[in-house]
Amino acid sequence: MSQTETLSLIQEIESLVSDQLQVVSYKWLSRSYLISSNEAKRLLHEFVEKHEGELEVVYALSGWLKSTIPSYHIRLVTGQKLAEAQQEFDGSCSVQVYSVQTSIPKDPAVLWNAEFIQAEELFKQPASVDNCLRDNRFCGISNSSVQRNVDGQTAVSTTPQIKTVAGLAPTKSNIIPQPPKNTVHNSIAKVDLKPQNMVKDVKSESNGTGNTGVHVNINKPTAEKEKPLPLPTGKKKIQADKSGSATGNSLASFWARPSAKPKPCSVPAENSNMITNPAEATENAQACPHEAEEGDSGDDDNQGVTLRRSSNRKRRVVFDFSDEDEDEVVVNLASPDVPSKQSSQDSRQNDMEFSEKATLNFDVPIENKSMVKEERATEKKVFQPPREDLSVINKCTNTGKSSTDKLQSSTPEICVNKDSVKKATPGSPKRRKVMKTRIDERGREVTEVVWEGEETEAKKADTVTAKKADTVPAKKADNTASTNAVNSAQATKKPAATSNTTGKGGSKKAANSKDPKQGNILSFFKRV
Amino acid sequence: MLELRLVQGSLLKKVLEAIKELVNDANFDCSSTGFSLQAMDSSHVALVALLLRSEGFEHYRCDRNISMGMNLNNMAKMLKCAGNDDIITIKADDGSDTVTFMFESPTQDKISDFEMKLMDIDSEHLGIPEAEYHAIVRMPSSEFARICKDLSSIGDTVVISVTKEGVKFSTKGDIGTANIVCRQNTTVDKPEEATVVEMNEPVSLQFALRYMNSFTKATPLSSTVTISLSNELPVVVEYKIAEMGYVRFYLAPKIEEDEEETKPQV
């Protein structure tokens, strides 16, 4: 990096730190300015030298501890405690600047908030975008046996899909994911998840998908179930345009904020990629789900931790779907024939609870039900209406998106299921505003605020299901045509993040209704 | 522990007068670098960002970053009790749910303490990226206030267009139309009376005058106002607070009719 560049970057850092009071960490710096992490550390170091004493520095120490049991330790310490902390290390330890900020935040989460959001943004980008996180280009550590899938879906969605492929009909070829992905996914997922802003929904997602992977085999019909979610088609187009701003992304794209890189619409390209290697996919298919699940469950913990830190000012409870779910998954795998029973159960539930649930009732397995209960219990505590809903829905589309197409795994349905459960939360009003998110034909995520009525919705859903059953192919063609393109377009995590950004908007939108022409500031500025 | 002593207490009074109309409740964020606020109006059309840097205070102590939720109307009520020449000190203890405003008369013979309850405000921070604006207009703030006031008696929307010639404010109402053009004018005695137009690209945007008018409540804070415009970005109306910081108002433009449908449904 040339001298001038360095200088200008240092100035940037200065303004970020002193004017915007941002915590600038080397990770954030590296991703924002597309420099290698080492370069970023060096810059920060230089910056710190220049501004000695004017700001607070957090150092990352790593080395062997002096304790009896040798353990390798990485520790973040503030400038004042640096020397003290160094004493605890055996021999020499590496000292690198982790971040600079004007003051040491009370809540350590603030330290990685910025980079966290940034990572989230990066992962939210359409899967085809080869950003620095996906290809790991700035990381000093790489594993040659890991293949990165740039166009890919994440582990979560991959699993069900593959399954379907394995278990089901031949039509699949167009959606078939590339086999190598799976492995990659697991590894990537691990990496991803940590920085991701996975609000609890994501978590449930991963569990949910674990489950779904199982169901997929069972029921083809479910594939279409997800569709009721989408809004009237007329609106689709429009929504498409909105989607960006609705999620706050488009604004970001205007401004190319480092944390929110513009997202090129390169969806179609990917599509073609997607189609590759059907044969291989099937081969691998059977093996994959387990792997993927493992990956998921492993991540749960991570997520749990990060989730809490995800939102700036709010703390939220994180669902812990613990291991039972996974167990259940395993069970399911073994005996995938339960559907009929479930469906009846489910439909019963449907009656009580409204919404798209009806649409899914096909094969929500028993375990699922229990999970649902669990969720309900927790739900009461956590209930945060719009955000939650939104995110859940997001989740659906999200998973739906990745697996969509003809056979759409049952992932969406599970999500929807949960979703509906949420809505059914005791004490929820009969009609309420719900954020619906789906993918339009151009591969963009569309979020819409809809009034959801209890009875009407249930009915609708029922009829839809019925209809669907009849006209499956036709409908499919309709609805999925659009989703096709999108298919694997975006990384699974995207919605979660989106939900964060959009979450609140729904409820407040009304205020704006006075003047339809008046723009909304939220479409320009992103929530941090 | 937080203790901010502002010799020019009237400044804080003016700041509150400037923003209280737009925002009811907001979090004041204090860090070691300064005292800041960011809040949207209730309809999420406008956003106000305030910064008072620590250097502007006679004494500034902020041990920890702290965010204090205040009802701005109540705060303004209390600040009204301060004389214009009073020294205002803002104090808050860690973990306390109140904030204290202390007013000292310039002669030190009267000291008043007002304690106000804080509130828990659930507000989210928006990231406002730095942007290159297509056009930046600097003009006397009183002039801008006058224009907004005048135009709002004719219509409710102002079109601000910047061309090489200058900046044009126009509106249309039931009774007719109005156009006000301000030409670039740098040949004045006092620099604060100058009108400076920097333009990279012509810009024309529509805004609700209602908001513009409430922005002009900040006029007492600064003799000049800077209006930065870019197509497809919110306008920024900035009042600099001498040597301390700024109050910036962001206002989302109105969208042309045919694009109405694309309005984000956030």
CATH of the domain at A80: 3.90.1030.20
Decide if domain B2-117 falls under CATH 3.70.10.10. yes
The pLDDT, as a whole number, for residue A203 is 40
Residue B165 has pLDDT above 60, yes or no: yes
Mutate to test the interface with B, among A13, A500, A517, A527 (most CBs of B within 10 A): A517
Closest CA to A320 of A383, A374, A373, A391: A374
Residue B37 has pLDDT above 50, yes or no: yes
- Rounded CA-CA distance B99/B102 in Å is 10
| Contact across the interface for A521 and B257, Cβ inside 8 Å | no
Q: Name the minimum distance, in Å, from the CA of B17 to any CA of chain A.
A: 22
Chain B partners of A508 at a C-beta cutoff of 8 Å?
A: 42-44, 266
Report chain B's mean pLDDT, rounded to a whole number: 91
Q: Show which of A70, A104, A138 is a domain's final residue.
A: A104
Q: What average pLDDT score do residues A176-196 get?
A: 41
3-state secondary structure of A28: helix
Residue A354 near residue A467 (C-beta atoms within 8 A):
no
Chain A partners of B265 at a C-beta cutoff of 8 Å?
A: 242, 246, 447-449, 505, 509
| Contact across the interface for B263 and A528, Cβ inside 8 Å | no
Q: Are residues A72 and A163 in the same domain?
A: no
Q: Name the minimum distance, in Å, from the CA of B108 to any CA of chain A.
A: 34
Type of residue numbered B254: K
Q: Are residues A94 and A235 in the same domain?
A: no
Q: Are residues A84 and A232 in the same domain?
A: no
Whether the predicted interface score ipTM is above 0.90: no
> Measuring CA to CA, how many Å separate A314 from each of A113, A357, A379, B220?
13, 29, 16, 36
Q: Name the minimum distance, in Å, from the CA of A194 to any CA of chain B.
A: 22
| Contact across the interface for A519 and B262, Cβ inside 8 Å | no
Closest by Cβ to B129, choosing from A105, A257, A511: A257
Bridge partners of B116, per DSSP, are B99
> Measuring CA to CA, how many Å separate A41 from each of A5, A118, B67?
15, 17, 30
Q: What average pLDDT score do residues A90-118 get?
A: 80
Q: Helix/strand/coil (H, E, C) string of A452-501?
A: ECHHHHHHHHHHHHHHHHHCHHHHHHHHHHHHHHHCCCECCCHHHHHHHH
> Measuring CA to CA, how many Å separate A234 from each of A240, A374, A464, A465?
11, 38, 18, 21
Q: For chain A, positions 444-503, list CB contacts with chain B under 8 A.
A: 447-449, 502
Q: Does A312 touch chain B (CB under 8 A)?
A: yes
Instruction: Give domain status of residue A117, yes or no.
Output: no
Structural domain boundaries, residue A407:
124-523
The pLDDT, as a whole number, for residue A121 is 81
Q: Are residues A58 and A160 in the same domain?
A: no
Name the range with the highest mean pLDDT among A59-63, A289-293, B261-265: A59-63
Query: Using 50, 70 and 90 to split pLDDT, how confident is the model at A425?
Result: very low
Query: Using 50, 70 and 90 to split pLDDT, how confident is the model at A140?
Result: low
Chain B partners of A519 at a C-beta cutoff of 8 Å?
A: 45, 234, 252-255, 263-264
Cβ count within 10 A of residue B188: 11
The pLDDT, as a whole number, for residue B119 is 93
Q: What average pLDDT score do residues B86-105 get?
A: 93
Instruction: Give domain status of residue A111, yes or no.
Output: no
Query: Using 50, 70 and 90 to split pLDDT, how confident is the model at B187?
Result: confident
Residue A382 near residue A316 (C-beta atoms within 8 A):
yes
Q: What average pLDDT score do residues B144-148 get?
A: 96
| Contact across the interface for A520 and B32, Cβ inside 8 Å | no
Residue A164 has pLDDT above 60, yes or no: no
Total structural domains in chain A?
2
> Measuring CA to CA, how many Å separate A380 from each of A175, A383, A432?
38, 5, 16
Q: Are residues A25 and A143 in the same domain?
A: no
Chain B partners of A102 at a C-beta cutoff of 8 Å?
A: 31-33
Q: Are residues A15 and A148 in the same domain?
A: no
Residue A348 has pLDDT above 50, yes or no: no
| Contact across the interface for A312 and B234, Cβ inside 8 Å | no
Q: Does A522 touch chain B (CB under 8 A)?
A: yes
| Contact across the interface for B266 and A505, Cβ inside 8 Å | yes
Q: What average pLDDT score do residues A175-187 get?
A: 41
Chain A partners of B62 at a C-beta cutoff of 8 Å?
A: 103
The pLDDT, as a whole number, for residue A195 is 40
Residue B126 near residue A528 (C-beta atoms within 8 A):
yes
Residue A501 has pLDDT above 90, yes or no: no
Q: What average pLDDT score do residues A342-363 get?
A: 44
Name the range with the highest mean pLDDT among A82-96, A121-135, A241-255, B111-125: B111-125
The pLDDT, as a whole number, for residue A147 is 66
Tokens representing residue A16 in the block: 């970020």
The pLDDT, as a whole number, for residue B152 is 93
Chain B partners of A518 at a C-beta cutoff of 8 Å?
A: 43, 45, 208, 252, 254-255
Residue A446 near residue A236 (C-beta atoms within 8 A):
yes
For the segment B106-144, what is each residue's pLDDT rounded down to a tens digit?
998 999 999 999 999 887 788 888 889 999 999 999 999
Closest by Cβ to B65, choosing from A105, A515, A517: A105
Instruction: Give domain status of residue A429, yes or no.
Output: yes
Q: Which residue has the higher pLDDT, A310 or B60?
A: B60
Q: Are residues A64 and A165 in the same domain?
A: no
Tokens representing residue A274 in the block: 């997607």
Query: Using 50, 70 and 90 to split pLDDT, how confident is the model at A477?
Result: very low
Q: Are residues A51 and A193 in the same domain?
A: no
Closest CA to A275 of A440, A485, A127, A479: A485
Residues found in chain A:
528
Chain B partners of A246 at a C-beta cutoff of 8 Å?
A: 264-266
Instruction: Give domain status of residue A118, yes or no.
Output: no
Chain A partners of B263 at a C-beta cutoff of 8 Å?
A: 242, 516-517, 519-520, 523
Chain B partners of A19 at a C-beta cutoff of 8 Å?
A: 51
Q: Name the minimum distance, in Å, from the CA of B81 to any CA of chain A.
A: 32
Tokens representing residue A398 in the block: 């999200």
- Rounded CA-CA distance B170/B176 in Å is 11
Name the range with the highest mean pLDDT among A25-34, A42-51, A336-345, B89-98: B89-98
Residue B8 has pLDDT above 50, yes or no: yes
Q: Are residues A72 and A130 in the same domain?
A: no
Instruction: Give domain status of residue A110, yes or no.
Output: no
Name residue, tokens 């809040």: B39
Q: What phi and psi, each to the nearest 5 degrees, are found at residue A432? A: -150, 165
The pLDDT, as a whole number, for residue A451 is 61
Cβ count within 10 A of residue B153: 11
Residue A457 has pLDDT above 70, yes or no: no
Q: Name the minimum distance, in Å, from the CA of A448 to any CA of chain B.
A: 7
- Rounded CA-CA distance A199/B24 in Å is 30
List chain B domain ranges: 2-117, 135-262
Q: Does A526 touch chain B (CB under 8 A)?
A: yes
Q: Are residues A88 and A183 in the same domain?
A: no
Q: Does A378 touch chain B (CB under 8 A)?
A: no
Chain A partners of B38 at a C-beta cutoff of 8 Å?
A: none
- Rounded CA-CA distance A207/A300 in Å is 8
Q: Name the minimum distance, in Å, from the CA of B54 to any CA of chain A.
A: 11
A36 dihedral zone (left: phi>0; alpha: psi -120 to 50; beta):
beta
| Contact across the interface for B254 and A522, Cβ inside 8 Å | no
Architecture of the domain whose range is B135-262? Box (3.70)
The pLDDT, as a whole number, for residue A309 is 43
Q: Are residues A17 and A140 in the same domain?
A: no
Q: Name the minimum distance, in Å, from the CA of B254 to any CA of chain A.
A: 4
Report chain A's mean pLDDT, rounded to a whole number: 54
Checking B223-227 for CB contacts under 8 A at 24+ apart, the result is B223/B140, B223/B141, B223/B142, B223/B192, B224/B138, B224/B139, B224/B140, B224/B141, B224/B192, B225/B138, B225/B139, B225/B140, B225/B141, B225/B144, B226/B136, B226/B137, B226/B138, B227/B136, B227/B137, B227/B138, B227/B139, B227/B144, B227/B160, B227/B167
Closest by Cβ to B42, choosing from A511, A523, A527: A511
Instruction: Give domain status of residue A58, yes or no.
Output: yes
| A297 membership: H or E segment, kind and range | helix A288-310
Residue A341 has pLDDT above 50, yes or no: no
Q: Are residues A209 and A80 in the same domain?
A: no
Residue B173 has pLDDT above 90, yes or no: yes
The pLDDT, as a whole number, for residue A56 is 82
| Contact across the interface for A523 and B46, Cβ inside 8 Å | no
Q: What average pLDDT score do residues A333-347 get?
A: 43
Q: For chain A, positions 428-447, list CB contacts with chain B under 8 A.
A: 447
| Contact across the interface for B65 and A106, Cβ inside 8 Å | yes
Mutate to test the interface with B, among A17, A103, A525, A527 (most CBs of B within 10 A): A525
3-state secondary structure of A228: coil
- Rounded CA-CA distance A250/B4 in Å is 39
Residue A128 has pLDDT above 60, yes or no: yes
Residue A480 has pLDDT above 50, yes or no: no
Residues found in chain B:
266
| Contact across the interface for B42 and A508, Cβ inside 8 Å | yes
The pLDDT, as a whole number, for residue B205 is 93
Q: Name the minimum distance, in Å, from the CA of B262 to any CA of chain A.
A: 5
| Contact across the interface for A518 and B265, Cβ inside 8 Å | no
Query: Using 50, 70 and 90 to split pLDDT, how confident is the model at A520?
Result: confident
- For the CA atoms of A77, A83, A87, A89, the dihedral, rounded to the nearest 10 degrees, stands at 40
| Contact across the interface for A518 and B128, Cβ inside 8 Å | no
The pLDDT, as a whole number, for residue A42 is 85
Q: What average pLDDT score do residues B170-186 get?
A: 93
Closest by Cβ to A312, choosing from B42, B125, B252: B125
